[in-house]
Amino acid sequence: MSTDVMIQASDLSKRFGHVRALDKVSFQVKKGEVVGFLGPNGAGKSTAMRILTCFLSPSAGSATVHGYDVFDDPLAVRRSIGYLPQRAPLYTDMSVIDYLRFTSEIRGLSPATFKKRLGTVIEVCGLAQVMTKDIGTLSHGYRQRVGLGQALIHDPPILILDEPTADLDPNEKAEVIRYIQEIGRDRTVLLSTHNLSEVEQACARAIIISKGKIVADGQLEEIRAKSGGIRYVVAVDGQGAEGDQAAPGYSDLEEAFGKLPGVKHVRELRTEENARRVEIAGPPDADLRAEIFRLMVARGWTLLELRRDAQSLDAVFRDLTKADEALDRGREWDEAVAAGPADEDDDDDDDSEDDDTDAASAAEPVAEAAEKR
Amino acid sequence: MTPTLTIAKREFRSYFDSPLAYVVICLSFFGLGLFFFMYRGGFWQLDRATMQPLFEFVPAGLAMLVIPVVTMRLMAEEKRSGTLEMLITLPVKDSDVVLGKFIGAFGLVLTIVTATLLYPVLMFKAPWNLGPLDMGPVWSGYLGLVLYAAAAVSVGLLISSLTDSQAVAFFVTFFVLGAFWFSGNVADHLSGASANVLHYVSFQSRMSGFMRGLIDSRDVVFFLSITILALVVAFRALERRKWA
């Protein structure tokens, strides 16, 4: 198993002054996996990637990439990865071909290997049109592709891509995602983004990080299941319909479906002209569709629609990270007001909590004294 | 090719991919010509077959104009635009980056210094022959120029690696190199220990020996030490990002 682990992070922490950017982050990425690294802006995604690429050093903890330690052998680590930093910072005064040649020379590829790889890279990244143009004249989409190209030029076993689709228009985004899917077939890819639909398209597994901590890690299905369960949407014909059976009311539906095993709640949805819809929150580990159908038949109701879907990743993401965010924003504002405009808003959570308790304990004796009187 | 040389080559070429190198070369030669022949009567006033004015004006011109312009972007621009992250996450050592950039910028300065060889050649060989030129002081003067340029470029690189603003890098380098150059003149008005120190670090007094054909090992060691020291500090400044 150990040979299969391409990226291993153990208890990585990183502090920037008072700000704790990463707090004991541990994860593994195995060979052949495409993993989405998700989180709101400022959650620590880029910091983690910079540590893995040996651009920064962790304040504590360790990491190995392709079996090489980021402290002991940074050059070997960098040799085995292709890295695309955020916003694809490239030398704008160089032409695309010169830039690719430059990176391949630094990576020590022979001219023959470079030629061979160049063909593949041009094809995979769609660079044929722009090879002789200056990078400064290219659109963001093309720069991103050139960035991907330089990450692929040495055929690395591991790719680390930091927000490869930021700043792109929807067409370009779709294309980059397609490249990543293609590239990811025979490589290990760690990809950061705050765009969830991309993760759903390109990745099988996601690591969700919020405020420097990992809040979820697993297959997309697992993450969905853990944090929400599965929801069923049922539409029943509301016109009365067949034979002598009366049309069911909401109370009937609620009563009937509520008895199914593991159902948490039944909720009315928007009514259409001749259909009554309910949403049923089912248990995460079972499929109730067959039972719902049998129940409908037994009651003689007419089924118009039955849909089972896992909670969308969007909702999961918001659930997992929103609480922190809301808290954060509120506090930032309070602090800003309290401290005045000159103060920076990078105070640690610990500090502010301490402040709160201090204020509370300071206020207590006053209250007690007031009571005694 | 080693990563150091690849970086140096890219750096050197990028000067010529932008108008910068051409502007710097043209203007500095225009300025040199003006000073060499016109300033206070210039070369003609000396009435001797000597290249001495060249070795007074070229280092001053390098310090005040060429080297601040050439070195200001080396690290500052990379940091500002984020390309530093791209460069450093390639399999290169931090020392490769510092040394490569130093060699690239030093290469451009050397190009300019070498081009000034046209002065003695044109004036004293062909097409003009203004007199019998003693080549000894010329060669020692050029050795001094090269050593001086190495020290000045590495100081510029160091300053550039401490900021991410090219403008700040330019002005600080301009000021520091100017101070090093004129500290000897200031020392003339002072006395005691401070005068000695200022004389000791003055680039101008260090250059005067080379100008007169005197290669003093102390001066050689002085310029080499400044170069190495500045490069090591620049390397540390680059490494600091990891722990900041």
Are residue A258 and residue A198 in the same domain, yes or no? no
Which of A167, A191, A226 corresponds to the end of one domain? A226
Tens digits of residue pLDDT in A217-261: 888 877 776 666 677 888 888 765 555 556 777 788 888 888 888
Mean pLDDT of chain A: 80
The residue with greater pLDDT, B138 or B64, is B138
Are residue A217 and residue A247 in the same domain, yes or no? no
Would you list the DSSP string of A115-147? Answer: HHHHHHHHHHHT-GGGTTSBGGGS-HHHHHHHH
Alpha-carbon distance of B150 to A289, in angstroms, equals: 78
Tens digits of residue pLDDT in A17-52: 888 899 999 999 998 889 999 888 888 899 999 999
CB contact under 8 A, A102 and B10: yes
Which of A226, A243, A270 corresponds to the end of one domain? A226
In this structure, what token pair is assigned to residue B38? 């016109």
pLDDT at A271 over 60: yes
CB contact under 8 A, A91 and B1: no
Are residue A212 and residue A272 in the same domain, yes or no? no
CB contact under 8 A, B89 and A89: no
Strand A188-193, strand A34-38: pairing: parallel
Residue A333 touches partner B, C-beta closer than 8 Å: no
Assess if residue A324 is contained within a domain: no
DSSP 8-state code for residue B166: H
The closest CB to that of B89, out of A57, A83, A86, belongs to A83
Predicted confidence band at A355 (pLDDT cuts at 50, 70, 90)? very low
Are residue A24 and residue A119 in the same domain, yes or no? yes
Are residue A162 and residue A284 in the same domain, yes or no? no
Assess if residue A179 is contained within a domain: yes
Helix (H) or strand (E) holding B3: helix B3-17
CATH number at A114 reads 3.40.50.300
Alpha-carbon distance of A190 to A160, in angstroms, equals: 5
Would you list the DSSP string of B70-110? Answer: HHTTTTHHHHHHSHHHHHHTTT--HHHHHHHHHHHHHHHHH
pLDDT at B121 over 80: yes
Measured over all CA atoms, what is the biggest interatomic distance in chain B, rounded to whole angstroms?
Answer: 61
Which pTM was predicted? 0.80
Residue A146 CA: distances (Å) to CA of A78, A201, A372, B14: 19, 22, 74, 19
Alpha-carbon distance of A337 to A311, in angstroms, equals: 38
Are residue A155 and residue A70 in the same domain, yes or no? yes
Assess if residue A119 is contained within a domain: yes
Mean pLDDT of chain B: 91
Tell me how close the Cα of A347 comes to any Cα of chain B, in angstroms. 17
Q: Residue A39 belongs to what domain range?
A: 2-226
Alpha-carbon distance of A135 to B99, in angstroms, equals: 25
Q: Is A83 helix (H, G, I), strand (E, B) or coil?
A: strand
Total domains present in chain B: 1
Cα A212 versus chain centre, distance: 13
In this structure, what token pair is assigned to residue A39? 């989180």
Assess if residue A49 is contained within a domain: yes
Query: Is there a contact between B158 and B234 (Cβ–Cβ < 8 Å)?
Result: yes
- Which residue of chain B comes nearest to A47, CA vs CA? B242
pLDDT at B142 over 60: yes
How large is the angle between the packed helices A140-152 and A170-183, nearest 10 degrees?
10
Interface of B to A at Cβ within 8 Å reads 1, 3, 6-7, 10, 14, 17-18, 81-83, 85-86, 88-93, 241-244
Alpha-carbon distance of A171 to A149, in angstroms, equals: 19
Q: Residue B62 belongs to what domain range?
A: 3-242
Tens digits of residue pLDDT in A292-331: 888 888 888 888 888 887 666 676 777 777 655 544 544 4
Assess if residue A255 is contained within a domain: yes
Assess if residue A35 is contained within a domain: yes
CATH number at A301 reads 3.30.70.1340
pLDDT at A361 over 50: no
- Which residue of chain B comes nearest to A98, CA vs CA? B10
CB contact under 8 A, B92 and A16: no
Which of A207, A226, A245 corresponds to the end of one domain? A226
Report the share of chain B in percent with pLDDT over 70.
Answer: 100
Are residue A141 and residue A96 in the same domain, yes or no? yes
What is the predicted pLDDT for the residue at B110?
A: 95
Assess if residue A120 is contained within a domain: yes
Alpha-carbon distance of A226 to A355, in angstroms, equals: 35
Alpha-carbon distance of A22 to A17, in angstroms, equals: 12
Residue A184 touches partner B, C-beta closer than 8 Å: no
Report the share of chain A in percent with pLDDT over 90.
Answer: 33
Alpha-carbon distance of A30 to A45, in angstroms, equals: 19
Are residue A192 and residue A250 in the same domain, yes or no? no
pLDDT at B217 over 50: yes
Are residue A62 and residue A189 in the same domain, yes or no? yes
Q: What sign results for the dihedral spanned by CA atoms A306, A311, A313, A315?
A: positive
pLDDT at B97 over 80: yes
In this structure, what token pair is assigned to residue A302? 């007419």
Alpha-carbon distance of B145 to B63, in angstroms, equals: 11
End-to-end CA distance of chain B: 32
The residue with greater pLDDT, B243 or A229, is B243
Tens digits of residue pLDDT in B71-80: 999 999 999 9
Q: Kindly list the residues from chain A whose CB atom is less than 8 angstroms away from the CB atom of residue B17.
A: 93-94
Are residue A83 and residue A166 in the same domain, yes or no? yes
Predicted confidence band at B1 (pLDDT cuts at 50, 70, 90)? confident
Are residue A169 and residue A87 in the same domain, yes or no? yes
ipTM: 0.90
What is the predicted pLDDT for the residue at B85?
A: 94
Assess if residue A149 is contained within a domain: yes
Query: Is there a contact between B7 and A106 (Cβ–Cβ < 8 Å)?
Result: yes
Total domains present in chain A: 2
User: What phi and psi values does residue A35 have, to the nearest 5 degrees?
Assistant: -115, 130
Are residue A196 and residue A108 in the same domain, yes or no? yes
